[in-house]
């Protein structure tokens, strides 16, 4: 049970509300957002990454889950923000997020995106490559602005995670490679770009990482680079952004470290390395996405058809699927589920939970233990808060479910259910 979940009268509640009540009020499929847990996670990060004490920064990675409501919450909690597109930037603007607290990422920012970022005054562009350096400098020249930037560095760290979400290794589409001198070359060329001001360096080593070790290696490598820049080029790098990727619990076998441990170890390591190298400690930045929202999100579905193939498998189908959660089909991600109306019943059978898409691969959970199931039961899949809603699609023209925030017995819609009108609004008659 995550966050504010508890079991009352054999029924699962979140934010003190029974799932059956949520179903009655909003229907299924439905994303539920445990606001208390999200806020607690933000506060844990802010506290243990020493934001007040040392001036470090925590930037929420918008890509994980980013409705306007979430953006406002992030601002209220005092975090910075990492965006990667015009769309995320636009959302931040609508939510009136302070532009100077935005980091703009992306390996192929378009000219329009660059213009928009410069015009709105985003705090830092995380420059990924030479092409972007040229474009950004030109835009800034035209607009007579000086832009603070970071360089995105590919540090050559291979963290153990799914290959699609690994990013720190040498063979990556992201960033200036460290090992072949690309970073140094970019620094040497900096003088050419009169409208850009290099204030920091950034790396992101991957996602859903449980080990602290790769992060400590990253700290060492990146501080080493800062030291070299000072010695060789007399450039003072004041900000070090270590990216996100801290792992969360989805299902048995996942062993994430508490936020506190991650943060404290990173902060401590940076202190030590700076002492050894005898350099000034830069402001540290981290960019968690998943670990702020994943466990705070759940999806409830209604069980429909049940197909029992004797001695082979029992398929339990629900009224959503890969359209609201692509992660099982895309990454073979594993989740846990529970029948919310039979929360304490013994889990005495093995079933496979299938979605409703016209595709055999639309399986949400394979071979999971479950209590006696009947059509009409409410099935909750836990930890769907990150990269669920944000990666949802309209495949088969299935409508995107709404998101409802729950807190202390109150619920409210933060994203409405899509309508058929929404579905065809871009289509010409
Ligand atoms: N910073 C940068 C530069 C990133 O590229 C990412 C994630 C993050 C921060 C946040 O990482 P997080 O703390 O959320 O792990 N769709 C995939 C995850 C892709 C992550 C891409 N970058 C999934 O569903 O697992």
Task: For 233-270, write each residue's pLDDT tens digit.
Answer: 999 999 999 999 999 999 999 999 999 999 999 999 99
Q: Which residue is associated with the tokens 């290959």?
A: 163
Q: Could you tell me if the CB of 106 is within 6 A of ligand 1?
A: no
169, 245, 293: residue to mutate for ligand 1 pocket, most atoms within 8 A of CB: 245
Instruction: Answer yes or no: is 379 within a domain.
Output: yes
Same domain, 288 and 355: no
Region of residue 176 (left: phi > 0; alpha: psi -120 to 50; beta: else): beta
**ipTM > 0.85 (yes/no):** yes
Question: Is 331 annotated for ligand binding?
Answer: yes
Same domain, 265 and 340: no
Instruction: Answer yes or no: is 267 within a domain.
Output: yes
Instruction: Answer yes or no: is 228 within a domain.
Output: yes
61, 102, 240: residue to mutate for ligand 1 pocket, most atoms within 8 A of CB: 61
Query: In the prediction, which pLDDT does 179 show?
Result: 87
Same domain, 25 and 112: no
Instruction: Answer yes or no: is 1 within a domain.
Output: no
Instruction: Answer yes or no: is 237 within a domain.
Output: yes
Q: Could you tell me if the CB of 165 is within 6 A of ligand 1?
A: yes
Same domain, 212 and 251: yes
CA 246 / ligand 1 centre spacing (Å): 9
Contacts of 213 (CB under 8 A, 6+ apart): none
Range of the domain at 375: 6-33+297-424
Q: Could you tell me if the CB of 291 is within 6 A of ligand 1?
A: yes
Region of residue 392 (left: phi > 0; alpha: psi -120 to 50; beta: else): beta
Query: In the prediction, which pLDDT does 172 show?
Result: 86
Q: Could you tell me if the CB of 91 is within 6 A of ligand 1?
A: no
What does the pLDDT look like over 310-343, one tens digit per residue? 999 999 999 999 999 999 999 999 999 999 999 9
Question: Is 290 annotated for ligand binding?
Answer: yes
Q: What CATH number does residue 172 fall under?
A: 3.20.20.10
Work out which ligand 1 atom sits closest to the CA atom of 152: 3
User: Can you tell me whether residue 123 is helix, strand or coil?
Assistant: coil
**Residues 414-423, mean pLDDT to the nearest whole number:** 98
Same domain, 334 and 217: no
The count of domains in the chain is 2
**Chosen domain end from 265, 293, 321:** 293
In order, the DSSP letters of 365-410 are: EEEEEE----TT-EEEEES--SSSGGG---GGGPPPPPEEEEETTE
**Chosen domain end from 278, 293, 308:** 293
The whole-angstrom separation of Cα 139 and Cα 101 is 20
Q: What CATH number does residue 363 fall under?
A: 2.40.37.10
Work out which ligand 1 atom sits closest to the CA atom of 387: 24
Same domain, 146 and 264: yes
Contacts of 306 (CB under 8 A, 6+ apart): 314, 315, 316, 317, 373, 374, 375
Question: Is 250 annotated for ligand binding?
Answer: no
CA dihedral sign of residues 119, 115, 207, 418 = positive
Tokens of 416: 């409405």
Contacts of 261 (CB under 8 A, 6+ apart): 212
**Residues 70-91, mean pLDDT to the nearest whole number:** 98
The whole-angstrom separation of Cα 377 and Cα 47 is 41
- Can the peptide bond before residue 95 be classed as cis, meaning omega within 30 degrees of 0? no
Same domain, 153 and 173: yes
Q: Could you tell me if the CB of 207 is within 6 A of ligand 1?
A: yes
Q: Which residues pair with 302 in a beta bridge?
A: 378
Is 358 among the catalytic positions?
yes
Query: In the prediction, which pLDDT does 158 show?
Result: 72
CA dihedral 386→389→395→400, nearest 10 degrees, is: 160
- Given the residues 140, 274, 358, 415, select the one marked as catalytic: 358
Instruction: Answer yes or no: is 96 within a domain.
Output: yes
Same domain, 193 and 64: yes
**Chosen domain end from 227, 259, 293:** 293
Instruction: Answer yes or no: is 429 within a domain.
Output: no
The whole-angstrom separation of Cα 151 and Cα 84 is 15
Same domain, 95 and 108: yes
What does the pLDDT look like over 42-69, one tens digit per residue? 999 999 999 999 999 999 999 999 999 9
pTM of the predicted model as reported, rounded to 2 decimal places:
0.97
The pLDDT > 70 percentage for the chain reads: 98
């Amino acid at each position: 049970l995550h966050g504010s979940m508890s079991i009352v009268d054999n029924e699962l509640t979140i934010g003190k509300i029974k799932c059956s009540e949520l179903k009655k009020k909003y229907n299924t499929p439905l994303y539920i957002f445990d606001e208390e847990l999200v806020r607690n996670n933000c506060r844990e990060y802010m506290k243990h990454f020493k934001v007040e004490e040392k001036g470090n920064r925590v930037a929420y990675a918008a890509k994980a889950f980013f409705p306007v409501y979430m953006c406002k919450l992030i601002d209220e909690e005092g975090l910075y923000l990492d965006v990667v597109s015009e769309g995320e930037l636009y959302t931040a603007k609508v939510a009136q997020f302070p532009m100077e607290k935005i980091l703009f990422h992306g390996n192929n920012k378009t000219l329009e995106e660059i213009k928009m970022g410069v015009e709105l005054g985003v705090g830092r562009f995380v420059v990924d490559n030479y092409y972007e350096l040229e474009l950004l400098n030109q835009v800034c020249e035209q607009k007579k602005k000086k832009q603070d930037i970071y360089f995105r560095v590919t540090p050559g760290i291979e963290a153990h995670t799914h290959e699609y979400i690994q990013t720190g290794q040498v063979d990556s589409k992201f960033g200036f490679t460290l090992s072949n001198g690309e970073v140094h070359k970019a620094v040497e060329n900096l003088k050419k770009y009169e409208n850009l001001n290099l204030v920091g360096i950034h790396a992101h080593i991957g996602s859903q990482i449980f080990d602290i070790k790769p992060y400590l290696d990253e700290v060492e490598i990146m501080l080493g680079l800062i030291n070299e820049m000072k010695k060789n080029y007399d450039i003072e790098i004041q900000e070090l952004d270590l990216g996100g990727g801290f792992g969360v619990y989805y299902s048995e076998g996942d062993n994430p470290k508490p936020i506190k441990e991650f943060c404290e170890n990173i902060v401590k390591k940076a202190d030590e390395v700076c002492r050894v190298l005898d350099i000034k400690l830069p402001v540290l930045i981290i960019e968690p996405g998943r670990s702020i929202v994943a466990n705070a999100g759940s999806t409830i579905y209604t069980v429909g058809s049940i197909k029992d193939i004797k001695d082979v498998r029992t398929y339990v189908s629900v009224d959503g699927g890969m359209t609201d959660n692509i992660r099982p089909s895309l990454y073979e991600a594993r989740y846990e589920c529970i029948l919310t109306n039979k929360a304490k019943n013994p889990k005495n059978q093995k079933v496979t939970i299938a979605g409703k898409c016209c595709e055999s691969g639309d399986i949400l959970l394979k071979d999971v233990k479950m209590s006696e199931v009947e059509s009409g039961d409410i099935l909750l899949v836990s930890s769907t808060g990150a990269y669920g809603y944000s990666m949802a699609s309209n495949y088969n023209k299935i409508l995107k479910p709404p998101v409802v925030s729950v807190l202390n017995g109150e619920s409210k819609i933060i994203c409405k259910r899509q309508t058929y009108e929404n579905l065809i609004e871009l289509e010409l008659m």
